[in-house]
Structure 1
Amino acid sequence: MEANNKAPANALAIQKPEVTEEQSSGDEEILMGGESPKTEISDRDLDPSKQTARRKGPKATPRELRLIKTNHKYLKQMEESNVALEELKLKLAEKVEEAKGKELYISQLEHKVDSYANEICDLRSRLNRVGHESDSWHERFLKADASYHELKRAIRNLATDF
């Protein structure tokens, strides 16, 4: 049995092919990102009139045909869902931009509210100050009025005494 295993190994010995100048430059092109002359596809291979759709082997069973049909149906649904997904992504991006704009607008409004709150606070303090000043002026007016009436009485008393 071991003899059988050794015989095929000798028969299948790998021989290194000889490399010509043309082949070596092609290998270098492959390593550098170019195309090898071996991998070039000629235009005649792509000619649709020369290509046939003959299938070798047995014909498809009804089950295989059903599977192919459902596979195509699912592929079509997947493509439609991908299109719908892309549309949803675009709508989501628009909504995000709209939300960013609204967020900016809200921050501007908050800034305005803060500035108006500061103005209101300043006006209240000025109102309090004016109120205190008016109270002091009212007190002064009352004192001046009382002094005026007292002076008037004193003048009457002096006039009646003479």
Structure 2
Amino acid sequence: MQLSHLDAKGNAHMVDVGKKPITARMAVAQAEIAMQPETLAMICNGEIPKGDVFSCARIAGIMAAKRTFELIPMCHPLPIDAVTIDFEAREPAHVLVKATLRCDWKTGIEMEALTAASVAALTVYDMCKAVDRGMVIQNICLLEKTGGKSGHFVREAEKTE
């Protein structure tokens, strides 16, 4: 398999997308944060001292999606049309973060979705670390993507949860 970010000599380079057609793209990524049951209860009851955990994490995820090209060396800046960050508190003690992004462009939006989910999860950690330093961020993965030459991808259900 030829890696698209390596040239014939094995040097890293940014893929030339100049002649690729613009297509509708969508990507969904997830991250989980495992925590103590008491921490989850505090989040759900609005008792975390730093404030509304999910609102802050949502904003952080959106901001991260828009700056992915500044963080990941070979990413292109994309004209992102929409970012949605959803949180699901799951008993007994973890939060599932899902980031859904859309754009019409020449290259995929998977890295932006993965970055958004990751940074949203990191923000949950930051907001709650004073009460639970043992939290674990895990299962960061692409759940689905559409558009482009490679077509539609859906992760098998048993691998996502």
**TM-score, scaled to structure 2:** 0.17
Higher relative contact order (CA 8 A, sep 6+): 2
Q: Which has the higher strand share?
A: 2
**TM-score, scaled to structure 1:** 0.17
Computing the radius of gyration from Cα coordinates, the structure with the larger value is 1
